[in-house]
Amino acid sequence: MKKQIQVPIAAALLLVAFAIAVVIYNEQQANKLSETTSKNASLLVRDYSPTMGNEDAKVTIVEFFDPACETCKAFYPFVKRLMASNPGRIKLVLRYAPFHQGSDYVVKLLEAARLQNKFWETLEATYESQPSWAAHHNPQPERLWMLLGGVGLDLKKAKEDMQSPTIVQRIQQDLADAQQLAVTKTPGFFVNGKPLIQFGYEPLQQLVDTEVRNHY
């Protein structure tokens, strides 16, 4: 028999089988994810969740984020651009998913800043300075205090407010909701209750565009 042909054929068959398995598995997972989301749709937004944009917007982006997550940082300006290009039609709801070590500290800080109406400014400063406090092998969220100079927070008050048990409850609630909604990685996006299945800028853009088209 022809050995020279046998090997490439076998290799090709194996790779094709692998590719088919990937497609089937992803399809199944996508269906499961959509099911999980629609079953738990009521958990997507909590009344305390920070929201940006027009209250009456018909397209809602829910983002589970971690302030120490580089991809969340990278997506933040993209989401803002999406909102800017559809003025008044999109609102953004943030949910906390502090999966990284030390991230819950930063979320508490963000909630404290929110009491001073400086949530978004602080979030932006937090993302900006992320490399200096969120190194994976050695996260030092306490360093953030030195890096928030430009925001104009009352730092002393924020430090006190951070201790509030309400904030801890909110974080726990968000983490519990994330688990129910099968969010295991950040950022986790949902647009009008539909999960972002294939991750990336373009899929998110498409999902948002479809929803905008359907509602306006």
Instruction: Return residues touching another protein (CB under 8 A).
Output: 1, 3-4, 6-7, 10-11, 14-15, 18, 21-22, 25-26
Take residue 136 and report the two structure tokens written for it: 């994976």
Minimum CB–partner distance for residue 142 and another protein (Å): 23
The amino acid at 203 = P
Based on CB atoms, which residue is closest to another protein, 22 or 176? 22
**Token output for 23:** 């497609």
Least distance to another protein, CB of residue 24, Å: 10
Q: Where are the alpha helices (DSSP H) in 94-195?
A: 103-115, 119-128, 130-133, 144-147, 155-161, 165-180
Structure tokens at 127: 């993302």
Classify strands 188-191 and 194-195 as parallel, antiparallel or unpaired: antiparallel
Report in angstroms how near the CB of residue 57 gets to another protein at its nearest: 33
Could you say which DSSP state residue 93 is in?
A: E
- 31 or 214, CB closer to another protein? 31
- The minimum distance between CB 28 and another protein, in angstroms, equals 11
- Residue 131 to residues 33, 88, 134, 135, Cα–Cα distance (Å): 32, 33, 6, 6
Q: Nearer Cβ to another protein, position 3 or 156? A: 3
Taking the complex as a whole, the smallest distance from the CB of residue 157 to another protein amounts, in Å, to 36
16 or 146: CB nearest another protein: 16
In this structure, what token pair is assigned to residue 120?
């978004």
CB of 97 to another protein, least distance (A): 17
Q: What share of the chain is helix, strand, coil (3-state, %, to 5)?
A: 60, 10, 30
Nearest CB to another protein, comparing residues 18 and 201:
18
Residue closer to another protein by CB (options 26, 132) is 26
Which of 84, 55, 59 is CA-nearest to residue 216?
A: 59
